[in-house]
Structure 1
Amino acid sequence: MLRSILNRLLGMMVVMALVVTIVFVIVRVTPGDPAAVMLGPEATAADIAALRSKLGLDGSILEQFGRYVFDISQGNFGQSIFLGEPVTTALAQRAEPTFFLTVFSLVIATVIALPVGILSAYRRGSIFDQAATTIAMFAASVPSFWLGLLFIQFFAVKLGWFDTSGYGGPGASFADRLDHLVLPALALGLVSSALITRFTRASMLDVLNDDYVRTARSKGMSEWRVVLKHAFKNALIPILTVIGLTAALLISGAVVTETVFGLPGVGSLVVSAVLRRDYPVIQGALLVIAGLYVLVNFAIDMLYLAVDPRVRY
């Protein structure tokens, strides 16, 4: 078990090293001088030289990479050109909306998908199964931002139940801020539930006809105890995998949704940084998102050890 954990930690470090290298290379292979692109056509040669020095672009590639890795190891992602503050501060100030949006979206997707997927597999070929499969395929093809626009038009504009955008004022209560997350969380959660539903159904179908399930039935156990305690528990590993992947995708997928709903989260920060060519913010956000993605996958690997004793050995 310890060896398995150490192998996964080593894999995490390798992945993050590759991510750091790729993020470093992206800025350097961008056509033109990054400093000149950020400052615009009106910048003087002195301004460009000053910014190149500030960004660490005035040394050799090896010197730049070494300085970049050292700064990251110290938790220094650089200074935002347009915000005038450290990238870590900018990301921390906008982390709350993105965090709660991701969590609520994942909860909505899981609460919808697991019961529907289990019941769909149990009633394979029924009208419910066909309807659930069709709706899941349709939901998987719907862009979350388009669904969000529909929600804004109907629930916010027409019915007036929710605000159209924002995250509440500076003195807004926690409940008021959560109220602003209902529509974007529903938009992301409903779309994400389609993938979890299909994987849950497929995983349950693989185990419902196994010998141990038939044995449990022959012992006189109730049908739902057989389905939930025996079948679902053994089908849980691939389901956990897709839930973990969904959580990681929600972190990156929140970018467009936050922009649609005007949420001051990491997603909207990344969009504005791309439009402004604020490379330090873009690099910092990419590293943070990649790090969260790796951590989510590591957490899912640890859940494997708790769910299935066979993985421990």
Structure 2
Amino acid sequence: MLRTVLHRLLGMLAVMLIVVTIVFVIVRVTPGDPAAVMLGPDATAADIANLRAQFGLDRPLPVQYVQYLLGLLQGDFGRSIFLGQPVLAALGSRAEPTFFLTLFSLALAVLIALPIGIYSAYRRGSLFDQAATTVAMLAASVPSFWLGLVLIQVFAVRLGWFPASGYGGPGTTLAERLGHLVLPSVALGIVSSALIIRFTRASMLDVLNDDYVRTARSKGMGEARVVLRHALKNAAIPILTVVGLTAALLVSGAVVTETVFGLPGVGNLVVNAVLRRDYPVIQGALLVVAGLYVLINFAIDMLYILVDPRVRA
């Protein structure tokens, strides 16, 4: 097992190095000069050149790349050109709404998808199964931003149950701030549940007719125990995979939803950084998201070992 963990860790380091290189190159070749954007249309060529030299943007790309790698090894993600603060500090100040939005959306998606997917597989071919499959396909095709706008119109504008946008003022309590996340969490959770429903149903269908399930039934075990203890446990690996993938997609896919609901999260910060050509913030945010992807995949691999002894062997 130790050898497997070390192998995964080395793979993570290799992936992150590739991601760092790709992100650095893509950001640099994107049209637009942050110095020109910052100074405005009235800036002279000399002013732009001076500002580029101040931020080190006039140096050759290989030199910038090596300096960036050395900074990353020391935990330095750079300094935001427009915000004037370290990138990690800028991301940390926006992390709370994004973290809770991802957490609540994933929890809602799992709570919706697992019972529906399990029961749909158990009642294969029934009216419930057909309705669940249809609704899952419909939810998968609905854009989260469109669903968010519908929820705002119904529950915020007409009924007034929830705030339409924002994340509360400086003196707002945590409970009040979390109230602003109800509608965006529902929008993301419903859309994300569709994929989990389909994978859960397919995984359960693969195991419900296996010999050990028939043996458990022949011993007189109750249907709930057979389905939840025997069938679900053996179908858990594909379900864990899609739940981990959904969590990673929610982290990176919250950009549009945060924009629709006016949440001051990491996604909103990245959108502004792209418009301003704020290279350090763009690079830092992409690296954090890529790191979360890698960590989630690593955690899922470790859960495989705990859930299924055959993987450990």
CA distance in 2, matches of 1:180, 1:71: 37
Contact 1:27-1:34 at 8 Å conserved across structures: no
**Does structure 1 conserve the Cα–Cα contact (< 8 Å) formed by 2:304 and 2:311?**
yes
| Counterpart residue number, 2:207 | 207
Could you tell me which runs of 5 or more consecutive residues in structure 1 were left unpaired when the two chains were aligned: none
**Could you say which residue in structure 1 is the equivalent of 2:287?**
287
Taking the aligned partners of 2:72 and 2:53, their CA distance within structure 1 comes to: 18
* Pairing 1:71–2:71 present: yes
Once the two structures are superposed, the pairs formed by residues 231-310 of structure 1 within 5 Å of their partners are: 231-310=231-310
CA distance in 1, matches of 2:61, 2:267: 30
**Partner deviation per Cα, 1:132-154 (whole Å, 9 max, x = no partner):** 00000000000001000000000
Check if 1:183 corresponds to 2:166: no
1:141 is aligned to 2:141: yes
Which residue number corresponds to residue 169 of structure 1? 169
Distance in 2, matches of 1:94 and 1:153, equals: 26
Q: What amino acid sits opposite 1:201 in the alignment?
A: R
2:109 is matched with which residue? Answer: 109
- Paired letter, 1:271: V
Q: Which residue pairs with 1:50 in the alignment?
A: 50
CA–CA distance in structure 1, aligned partners of residues 282 and 69 of structure 2: 16
Structure 1 residue 42: deviation in Å?
2.7
Q: 1:54 to 1:13 in 2, by over 3 A?
A: farther
**CA distance, structure 2, for counterparts of residue 302 and residue 287 of structure 1:** 22
Question: Structure 1 residues 166, 31: closer, same or farther in 2, change over 3 A?
Answer: closer
Task: Write the letter of the residue equivalent to 2:207.
Answer: V
- Is the contact made by 1:120 and 1:201 (CA closer than 8 Å) also made in structure 2? yes
- Provide the C-alpha distance between the structure 2 equivalents of 1:235 and 1:303, rounded to a whole number of angstroms: 13
Cα shift at 1:37? 5.1
Matched residue type, 2:88: T
| CA distance in structure 2 between the aligned counterparts of 1:150 and 1:37, rounded to whole angstroms | 35
Structure-2 residue corresponding to 1:132:
132
Match of 1:227 in 2: 227
| SS of the residue 1:263 aligns to | coil
* Alpha-carbon distance in structure 1 between the residues aligned to 2:236 and 2:195: 15
| Cα deviation code 1:125-180 (max 9, x no counterpart) | 00000000000000000000100000000000000000111111111111101111
CA distance in 1, matches of 2:310, 2:58: 54
After TM superposition, give the deviation of residue 38 of structure 1 in Å.
5.2
| Unaligned residue ranges in structure 2 (runs of 5+) | none
User: Which has the larger displacement, 274-283 or 42-51?
Assistant: 42-51
Distance change >3 Å, CA 54–CA 209, structure 1 → 2: farther
1:15 and 2:15 aligned: yes
CA distance in 2, matches of 1:115, 1:249: 22
Q: Partner of 2:82 in structure 1? A: 82
Amino acid at match of 1:19: V
Total equivalences in the alignment:
313
Deviation at 1:278, TM superposition (A): 1.7
In structure 2, the partner of 1:96 is 96
Aligned-pair identity in percent equals: 77
Question: Are the equivalent residues in 2 in contact too, given 1:38–1:278 (CA < 8 A)?
Answer: no
Give the conservation status (yes or no) of the 8 Å contact 2:166–2:261.
yes
Residues 38 and 277 in structure 1, CA contact (< 8 A), matched pair in contact too? no
Tell me whether 244-253 or 294-303 shows the greater mean CA deviation. Answer: 294-303
1:242-276 Cα offsets, whole Å, 9 max, x none, are 00000000001110100111111001111111122
Distance in 2 (alpha carbons) for counterparts of 1:57 and 1:166: 35
Paired residue type of 1:75: G
Q: Distance in 2 between matches of 1:239 and 1:38?
A: 47
Structure 1 distance, partners of 2:172, 2:193, is 30
Query: 1:32 deviation in Å?
Result: 5.7
State the AA in 2 paired with 1:113: A
2:208–2:227 CA contact under 8 A, matched in 1: yes
| 1:22-74 residue CA offsets vs partner (Å, 9 max, x unmatched) | 11111232246554455444333333233323433333332221101011222
After superposition, the Cα gap between the structure-2 partners of 1:54 and 1:203, relative to the gap in structure 1 and judged at 3 Å, is farther
Change (3 A) 1:76 1:44: farther
Distance 2:185 2:15 in 1: 29
